Amino acid sequence: MKIICIGRNYTEHIEELENEKPEEPVVFLKPDTAILLKRQPFFIPDFSEDVHHEVEVLVKINRIGKYIDKKFAHKYYDEIGLGIDFTARDLQAKLKAKGLPWEKAKSFDGAAVVGQWISKNEFENINDITFSLKKNNTIVQKGNTSHMLWKIDELIEYISKYFTLKIGDIIFTGTPAGVGKVQANDKLVGFIEERQLFSITVK
């Protein structure tokens, strides 16, 4: 399986990093080795002094598809989840400045937290889902999928022009504002609406 991530999909997050608003979705990949194993802590890698949390809504693909029209995109997923796109911001800044790919900053081992899944049928409207991240019991990020620049079905249409989507692939749909540095002993807990979908400790 593969993980397809979307960058710069929420206006306020684009502004906090002083990035330009993209004309098309920003896309990058994480390999399956980036997934943080269940019940394991997240270890801050020794090549970064500034690892940020980015909480994101996830979509799990349930059938194979290419050139999927957004009208039919809803047939390609049944489950919605929540995760963290851990980012070595210092390393990413260096790579960005040189115009180099971001993988070393975003695709290292453990950089993808994947929480529990929820059937999409439990939501009245997947384009109006509230989600949040608590760090040490304080809400640090809060978002709603209605604020995405590109909605889930539009992302599937866009991504599948470039990459065949396969069963089990996961889409990280971008982070809202409030990204920030993690430190050893931080506890990160993610919620969709009131439901807790992951809880991890930073080491």
Instruction: Give the full edge-to-edge strand order of the sheet including 26-30.
Output: 26-30, 3-7, 170-172, 55-61, 77-85, 112-119
Whole-Å CA distances, 87 to 48, 75, 106, 110, 126: 9, 31, 5, 10, 26
What's the Cα-to-Cα distance from 141 to each of 66, 106, 135, 162, rounded to whole Å? 33, 19, 9, 30
Closest to Zn ion by CB, 86 vs 191, is 86
Q: How far is the CB of 92 from Zn ion (least distance, A)?
A: 10
CB of 34 vs Zn ion, minimal distance in Å: 12
Which CB sits closer to Zn ion, 85 or 157?
85
Chain positions contacting Zn ion, by CB under 5 A: 54, 85, 175
Give me the residue whose beta carbon is nearest to Zn ion. Answer: 85
Please list the alpha-helical segments (H only) found in the chain.
11-16, 89-97, 103-106, 152-162
- Tell the smallest beta-carbon distance from residue 27 to Zn ion (Å): 11
- Measured from the CB atom, the residue of 14 and 65 that comes closer to Zn ion is 14
For Zn ion, give the closer residue by CB, 92 or 175: 175
What is the rounded distance in angstroms from the CA atom of residue 5 to the CA atom of residue 30? 7
Contact 64, 165 (CB under 8 A): yes
Please give the Cα distance from 44 to 112 (Å, whole number): 13
Tell me whether residue 77 or residue 102 sits nearer to Zn ion (CB atom): 102
Shortest distance, position 56 Cβ to Zn ion, whole Å: 6
Output the smallest distance, CB 157 to Zn ion, in A. Answer: 20
